[in-house]
């Protein structure tokens, strides 16, 4: 286990603010945060002993995230992202179909990130208008910073909107199950700084959430709770993939509805000399 510092949104009752204020454009992105020390449990043993792990779909159901091994033939260096992105996205589609049994997979967008300030371009506070799938990079000429602050990309309403924009208004009638999933993987390894941390959705309660104006729709900001169980892949390599459930139209009682996640702000040197993190995340809709 590793002790790390991570950022969480401060509850509205502590801030003395009406929750609705954060649903306003330009305000939701500026929700005040607090740093907390969190214990991170290592997922590497599951990757090294897959025969002892649940199937990826069972992992998504029980805790909201899954870890899988996959060697990419397409992935290349960050500086050449536009050259290999299209082929990589086709690999991701095949991966989701093979690992989860999806009938149809539509890429919503993809984004690359770096923790190096000389390389990345921070987001501005303007909403990003996306009304159809981007089968490529969300920002072709930009690399974004690593994310800080526990969150879920969209709430259920926002995710259902994305699913309909990706596959049509009748997507929920056409398929028995529809999921929104993020695929996250480093471009180089091992990751020794700003790794991605994920929360076991079964240890998470909705009392620890606030709704905020986000990039595509209202998103879920996460408050700290001692009951939460957080994980990461220690010294993660480019063949170690994280699948994050953002939305599932068929979540059963007792299963994880989604997984909160964030970049870790400080590992305190636990994973060796720190080098800049480079990663790609692919946002997609999977239908069954």
pLDDT at 128: 64
pLDDT at 20: 77
Q: Specify the CATH number for the domain of residue 42.
A: 2.60.120
Q: What is the pTM of this model?
A: 0.93
Residue with tokens 């079964």: 202
pLDDT at 109: 94
Which residues does the chain have with pLDDT short of 50? Answer: none
pLDDT at 206: 84
As for how many domains the chain has, the answer is 1
- Non-local (6+) Cβ contacts of 27 within 8 A are 21, 213
The domain in which residue 32 lies consists of 2-287
pLDDT at 92: 98
Q: Give the separation between CA 132 and CA 154, rounded to whole angstroms.
A: 16
């Amino acid at each position: 286990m590793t002790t790390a510092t991570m950022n969480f949104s401060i509850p509205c009752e502590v801030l003395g603010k009406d929750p609705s204020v954060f649903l306003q454009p330009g305000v939701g992105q500026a929700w005040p945060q607090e740093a907390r020390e969190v214990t991170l449990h290592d997922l590497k043993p599951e990757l090294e002993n897959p025969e002892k792990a649940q199937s990826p779909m069972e992992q998504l159901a029980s805790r909201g995230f899954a870890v899988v091994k996959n060697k990419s033939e397409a992935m290349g260096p960050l500086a050449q992202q536009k050259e290999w992105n299209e082929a990589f996205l086709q690999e991701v589609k095949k991966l989701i179909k093979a690992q989860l049994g999806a009938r149809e997979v539509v890429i919503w967008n993809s984004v690359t990130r770096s923790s190096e300030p000389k390389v990345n371009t921070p987001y501005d506070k303007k909403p990003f208008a996306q009304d159809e799938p981007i089968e490529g990079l969300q920002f072709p000429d930009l690399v974004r910073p690593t994310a800080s602050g526990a969150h879920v990309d969209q709430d259920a309403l926002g995710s259902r909107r994305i699913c309909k924009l990706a596959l049509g208004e009748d997507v929920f009638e056409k398929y028995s199950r529809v999921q929104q999933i993020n695929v996250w993987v480093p471009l180089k390894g091992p990751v020794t700084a700003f790794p991605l941390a994920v929360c076991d959705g079964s240890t998470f309660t909705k009392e620890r959430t606030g709704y905020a104006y986000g990039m595509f729709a209202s998103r879920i900001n996460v408050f700290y709770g001692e009951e939460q169980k957080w994980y990461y892949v220690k010294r993660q390599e480019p063949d170690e993939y994280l699948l994050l459930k953002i939305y599932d139209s068929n979540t059963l009682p007792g299963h994880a509805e989604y997984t909160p996640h964030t970049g870790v702000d400080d590992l305190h040197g636990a994973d060796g000399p720190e080098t800049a993190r480079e990663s790609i995340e692919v946002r997609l809709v999977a239908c069954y």
